[in-house]
A = this chain, B = another copy of it.
Amino acid sequence: MIDSVEIIGLIAAILTTLAFIPQVIKVISTNSSKGLSLTTFIIFIIGVILWFIYGIFKSSISMILGNGITFFLALIIIVYIIKNKKTNL
């Protein structure tokens, strides 16, 4: 059974994960990552990997699922930023 605290975590995980979808859509549809900081997303994705590991130790389904998906969304953004930087060289 999922307790009420875990439900807060689950909603938090869903929100901080879904949050990146509009940004990913914006980057893909405009084919531009202008304005986005590469440093931010690289530091962020390393943090997300550590949160994922932390979630495994804390047996937190919310953290494992949320950070797992956020990892892939942040990765898409990073790929676009690097691709755009290369194009602009």
Chain A positions near chain B (C-beta within 8 angstroms): 5, 8-9, 11-23, 25-27, 30, 32-37, 39-41, 43-44, 46-48, 50-51, 53-54, 57-58, 60, 62
Contact = CB atoms under 8 A, between A and B. Distances in A.
Closest 6 CB pairs of A and B: A35-B35, A15-B47, A12-B50, A16-B47, A19-B44, A19-B43
A29 to B, nearest CB: 11
Interface of A, secondary structure class, is: helix
Given A8-B54, A19-B47, A23-B40, 4 more contacts: A15-B50, A25-B37, A33-B35, A58-B58
Integer count of this chain's copies in the complex: 2
A21 B44 CA distance: 11
